[in-house]
Amino acid sequence: MKKVLLLILSIFLLISTPLSVLATTSKITAKASSSNLPSAPVLSDKVWTIVFSKKVNQNSAKQNITLWNLVNNQWNQFDIQPIVNDNKVLINHTLPFPNGQYKLKISKNIRSVENKSMIDDFSFNFVVQTPSIEDELIWPSELNDSPLIINNNDATLVSIRIKHDIYPKIKSVSILGIEAHQSYDIWEICFYNNDPEAPKTLQELQGKIMITYKES
């Protein structure tokens, strides 16, 4: 389920003192509470919802709300489809956000249905950081880090490293039901000649690492 972070844009209408000889004028300004801005990285499926105090013109939102991605020290526009629902604008995107730094910009030229515009541009930055497979999978507590799968043209090597204070107590390690060979704190198995049993992803190792301790 996509998570939605609500960014409140408080829009105030400034109206001059009505006098019988003066026409009433108005302007809109925007403010954002810092508590609503992201202080930590967000996931690649993040959907932003911007809430205005006035109904927003749909065409104006599509033209004046943009998203930019920093790639190789250069800001590139990222494709989004703002969806307007009265005073809410949903920042929808067809592709997941790649990991990196982003800037969401709202131009002061955005208009309400009453044709009111903002006084100043508004923007904020956020960072996308999706957890890696190593972070998402649960490995035995004895491991020093996540397993490694090394592929080349002739073989696939699966390697795990055991924590230094634990490996002397270990009798054997099996990976995918195969007893692994030990070298110091590392246990390995090797699949040759494109063996169909060779794992291609770390998910295939989930729950398939068995550790047996020496008898005390």
Select from 109, 98, 45 the least CA-distant residue to 69.
98
Pairwise CA distance, residues 215 & 213, whole Å? 6
Domain ranges for the chain: 4-128, 134-213
CA dihedral 176, 177, 182, 184 (to 10 degrees): 60
Q: Quick check: pTM over 0.95?
A: no
Q: Residue 37: what pLDDT? A: 58
Q: Residue 187: what pLDDT? A: 92
Q: Residue 188: what pLDDT? A: 93
Q: Residue 2: what pLDDT? A: 44
Determine the 3-state secondary structure of 134 from DSSP.
Answer: helix
Q: Residue 5: what pLDDT? A: 45
CATH code, residues 134-213: 2.40.30
Burial 161-186 (b: 16+ CB within 10 A, else e): bbeeebbeebeebebbeeebeeeebb
CATH code, residues 4-128: 2.60.40.3710
Q: Residue 152: what pLDDT? A: 78
Low-confidence ranges of the chain (pLDDT < 50): 1-35
Q: Residue 28: what pLDDT? A: 45
